[in-house]
Amino acid sequence: MGAWAVDWLEVVYPCPFCRVQRTIIGVLGAFMILGSSHFILKYFASVFAFFGAGVAMSQHFRGWVKIHKGEFAWYDPIYYDAFILSFLALFIIIAQAWIICLRRTQNA
């Protein structure tokens, strides 16, 4: 909810890529809190993670295109730079997917 709140309060700039990434990170975080290792949860987590990672890769690739065209410049302040944030989002989404999908079933 915090990720969506900063968007609604206009603390961050509106970016469709970023909104999708924040939503996917939030949904996967909710799946992590559930603590279930059911295969349906793992399946949906994988689907959401693939979608979120695809969006993050698309945004990151746009940065590489700018680099190759010679148009790239770091955003100021640098911690708002979409190139860095999409890279971090990609790593967070993949890490969350691994944590969820590698969770073992607990025997009662």
pTM summary value: 0.84
Cα 53–79–63 angle (5° rounding)?
Answer: 50
Percent of the chain, pLDDT > 90?
Answer: 46
Min mean pLDDT across 6-10, 85-89, 94-98 is at 6-10
Task: Tell me how crowded residue 48 is: count the other CB atoms within 10 A of its CB.
Answer: 20
Min mean pLDDT across 4-8, 59-63, 89-93 is at 4-8
